[in-house]
Amino acid sequence: MFRIYLLIFFVTASFVALHAQTADGPTPMNFEIYDPPSTLVVPENPVQRSKFPFIDVHSHHWNMAEQDLAFLARQMDTLHMGIVVNLSGRGGAALKAQTENITKHGLQSRMVVFSNISFNGMDEPDWTENALKQLEFDVQNGARGLKIYKNLGMDVKDKNGRVAVDDPRIDPIWAKCGELGIPVLIHTADPQPFWLPHDENNERWLELKTHPRRKRSGDTTAPWEQIIAEQHSVFKKHPGTTFINAHMGWYPNNLGHLGELLDAMPNMNVEIGAVIAELGRQPRMARSFFEKYQDRILFGKDSYQPAEYPTYFRVLETADEYFPYYKRYHAFWRMYGLGLPDEVLKKVYYKNALRIIPGLDKSLFPE
């Protein structure tokens, strides 16, 4: 009986102590909600509108065939966006409907569309031939490039299993893009931590906690290194085709190696969509990289969210210190501005895209 009383005493005392701590002391805390405002006092120069007009080479507008494009153009004007490249063109009749709506609104100089290729039915003997016909049809109807989604190399399957990024059945398509003079913007794999153990050593722990379907493993797809190597194999096999490697090829956290890849593959360019937080945490290294490879980097955002663009402008244009990213589950760290020189900014914002993507209206941009 004494032991029972003693147990009740300790449980009650623990409850009282915990209640006192939460009532009069700090609230119980964990990493998921800990995000205090900084007490650091430094100059702040938020940028709502880019210094120069820019071309967003990585945007997604799934209903461009039906949406009010005049409204989209007004949003673009507030950001100083000269041209938006919609990578969700789909292809065939769907792409034609988008370009027709753009023409209907008189916005051919402001909005362009890339084609998409379906990898369904790759086992059929005429798959490559049909894909080539669709690509040529799309270019005739206004497509300015080809976008490849990350499902190639991870989720696309044929009768033998996973289809590799460098599957030889796709070679004629890469070659055709070179013949047509259009670039291929290709997204391959995902951030490497998605393949690592979901534990305290994973920088993407919070993202994987909040978005568990992003976790990858050897059971769900091929190893990250293998998929990335397949992409590089395509670049090397097709030197006459220009490639834009989405998300800086998932090496924004290893710019030294990314530079080696750019040196080894002159037909590879990169865009900065969804990786600005990686650049902002290494301002000196990133600025040096941008200065060295200023002719190979394009502006891209990925998800079209107008409120998020100013963070990109601030990282690229200012010398601000220790400011937050807009999605904590992507980046719990603070960022710093690169303060890029004007000539580098112009190349990233529009000059490189004007050179790489055919048929863009140069009159919208300064010399």
Residue 22 lies in a domain: no
Question: What are 277-287's pLDDT values in tens digits?
Answer: 999 999 999 99
Contact 151, 119 (CB under 8 A): yes
Choose among 302, 190, 187: nearest CA to 246: 187
Task: Give me the domain span that covers residue 144.
Answer: 48-364
Q: Please tell me the predicted confidence (pLDDT) of residue 347.
A: 98
If you average pLDDT over residues 38-48, what whole number do you get? 95
Q: Please tell me the predicted confidence (pLDDT) of residue 32.
A: 84
pLDDT mean across residues, the chain = 93
Q: Above 80 in pLDDT, residue 260?
A: yes
Q: For residues 33 and 310, which has the higher predicted lDDT (pLDDT)?
A: 310
| CA distance linking residue 342 with residue 320, whole number of Å | 16
Q: Above 50 in pLDDT, residue 100?
A: yes
Contact 83, 300 (CB under 8 A): no
Residue 3 lies in a domain: no
Contact 174, 241 (CB under 8 A): yes
Q: Note if the pTM is more than 0.85.
A: yes
Residue 162 sits in a domain of what CATH number?
Answer: 3.20.20.140
Contact 191, 246 (CB under 8 A): no
Model confidence at 219, pLDDT cuts 50, 70, 90, reads: confident
Q: Please tell me the predicted confidence (pLDDT) of residue 118.
A: 96
Question: What are 174-211's pLDDT values in tens digits?
Answer: 999 999 999 999 999 999 999 999 999 999 999 999 99
If you average pLDDT over residues 111-136, what whole number do you get? 97
Q: Please tell me the predicted confidence (pLDDT) of residue 1.
A: 44
Q: How far is CA 148 from CA 64, 138, 156, 183, 188, in A?
A: 19, 15, 12, 11, 8
Contact 59, 301 (CB under 8 A): yes
Residue 21 lies in a domain: no
| CA distance linking residue 173 with residue 128, whole number of Å | 8
Q: Above 90 in pLDDT, residue 228?
A: yes
> Residue 130: which H helix or E strand, with range?
helix 127-140
Residue 13 lies in a domain: no
Residue 9 lies in a domain: no
Model confidence at 24, pLDDT cuts 50, 70, 90, reads: low
| CA distance linking residue 54 with residue 349, whole number of Å | 4
Question: What are 127-172's pLDDT values in tens digits?
Answer: 999 999 999 999 999 999 999 999 999 999 999 999 999 999 999 9
Q: How far is CA 79 from CA 53, 237, 366, in A?
A: 8, 39, 16
Residue 258 lies in a domain: yes
Q: Is 105 exposed, middle or buried (0-12, 13-18, 19+ CB in 10 A)?
A: middle
Residue 5 lies in a domain: no
- Rounded to the nearest 5°, which phi and psi values hold at 143? -65, 135
Q: Please tell me the predicted confidence (pLDDT) of residue 33.
A: 87
- Collapsed DSSP state (helix, strand, coil) of residue 49: coil
Q: Please tell me the predicted confidence (pLDDT) of residue 367.
A: 85
Residue 343 lies in a domain: yes
- Rounded to the nearest 5°, which phi and psi values hold at 215? -70, 135
Q: Please tell me the predicted confidence (pLDDT) of residue 25.
A: 62
Question: What are 295-331's pLDDT values in tens digits?
Answer: 999 999 999 999 999 999 999 999 999 999 999 999 9
> Residue 343: which H helix or E strand, with range?
helix 342-346
Counted domains in the chain: 1
Q: Please tell me the predicted confidence (pLDDT) of residue 264.
A: 98
Other C-beta atoms closer than 10 Å to the C-beta of 343 total 11
